[in-house]
Amino acid sequence: MTVHEATKQLIDSLTDIYDDSEAANITELIMEHITRWSRIERTTNKDVPLSYAQKELLEQSVKRLQQHEPVQYIINEAWFAGMRFYVDKNVLIPRPETEELVEWVVKEFKTKNPDPITAGNKILDVGTGSGCIAIALKKNLPDAEIWACDISDEVLNIARMNADAMGATIDFTPLNFLEADQRNQLPHVDIIVSNPPYVPQQDRAEMRKNVVDHEPSIALFVPDNDPLIFYKAIADFAKEKLNEGGSIYLEIHEGLAEKIDHLFRTKDYSSVEIKKDLQGKDRMVRVKLCVESSESGIITID
């Protein structure tokens, strides 16, 4: 079987599962993974036969793809903010909308702190997963002190590996953020960032099999009767640990934007801004805490 024949076989095996464009993109990633050649190199060497090991890898990849396993888990890599991250079934695959959240944080941080020498801010990433948010922030804001937490060392080991590969110094802490006594070990910070679990269990039926069947449920789903459970925990934590003038940046479920806005306002976070992603969906929120003034009661820090 030649490189050209393998490419055709692979794309034909995916047409019943994915549309033509997605099947072509997946084929490109798998063939590059198998051959270690770029598209141009594969075109030049299209008549070169695959080795036995390459044919075995192709066969295994086709089987996994036909079971709706994400290609990122098969090749153990995903791109985020221009960087290549290791991913496997223990962590979510980074999404483009999460890149938009990072870009929002970076832009506002640089506006607020034009002199990097004096910008000694601490940033906390809650539920770091692969470490993509924390690492992207550190690479863009090298003078900031970055902390990140997640529920298990198994997950954090992936984040640590990615941070080491990219030369990003980050303080990783294993803890269950929903437990107040555990999150109290985290420091006071100036910025809190998170892409927490926010998909109600009832939404499972509407989601694609490659997500529901393969990505970690603990990082995706929340109870139908308490879909804002992580936002409540973040709001309570910030009351204790967010420094004056600090901000919270969160990814959100597009259908829960109004409830999230209400949640933070009822907890005296009167500066709440919902931001749409590039698809026009309500997918991000920035929150700032109010402080009490002896003269005028509650004021908003902007």
Express each pLDDT in 30-58 by its tens digit: 999 999 999 999 999 999 999 999 999 99
Distance between CA atoms of residues 179 and 247, nearest Å: 22
Are the C-beta atoms of residues 109 and 119 closer than 8 Å to each other? yes
DSSP assignment letter at 255: G
What's the burial of 113, exposed, middle or buried (CB within 10 Å: 0-12/13-18/19+)?
Answer: middle
Grade residue 290 by pLDDT with cuts at 50, 70 and 90.
Answer: low
**Is pLDDT of 294 > 50?**
no
Residue 64: its pLDDT value, please?
96
**74-86, pLDDT tens digit by residue?**
999 999 999 999 9
What the block records as the tokens of 296 is 């005028």
Residue 113: its pLDDT value, please?
75
Mean pLDDT for the stretch of residues 289-296: 48
Mean pLDDT for the stretch of residues 149-155: 95
What the block records as the tokens of 8 is 């055709």
Are the C-beta atoms of residues 192 and 242 closer than 8 Å to each other? yes
Residue 256: its pLDDT value, please?
96
Residue 299: its pLDDT value, please?
33
The overall average pLDDT reported for the chain is 92
- pLDDT > 90 in the chain, percent: 89
Helix segments in the chain, DSSP class H: 3-14, 20-35, 39-44, 52-66, 71-75, 96-112, 132-140, 153-165, 180-183, 209-212, 229-241, 257-266
**Is pLDDT of 160 > 70?**
yes
Mean pLDDT for the stretch of residues 6-29: 94
Distance between CA atoms of residues 115 and 130, nearest Å: 30
Residue 296: its pLDDT value, please?
33
Grade residue 270 by pLDDT with cuts at 50, 70 and 90.
Answer: confident
Residue 176: its pLDDT value, please?
97
Residue showing tokens 């970055």: 146
Are the C-beta atoms of residues 235 and 285 closer than 8 Å to each other? no
Specify the CATH class of 80-300 in words. alpha beta
Distance between CA atoms of residues 285 and 274, nearest Å: 4
Residue 289: its pLDDT value, please?
77
**91-147, pLDDT tens digit by residue?**
999 999 999 999 999 999 988 877 655 456 999 999 999 999 999 999 999 999 999
- pLDDT > 70 in the chain, percent: 94
Tell me the Cα Rg of the chain. Answer: 22
**224-246, pLDDT tens digit by residue?**
999 999 999 999 999 999 999 89
Residue 302: its pLDDT value, please?
38
Buried b (16+ CB within 10 A) or exposed e, 233-269: bbbebbeebbeeebbbbbbbbeebbeebbebbeebeb
What's the burial of 295, exposed, middle or buried (CB within 10 Å: 0-12/13-18/19+)?
Answer: exposed
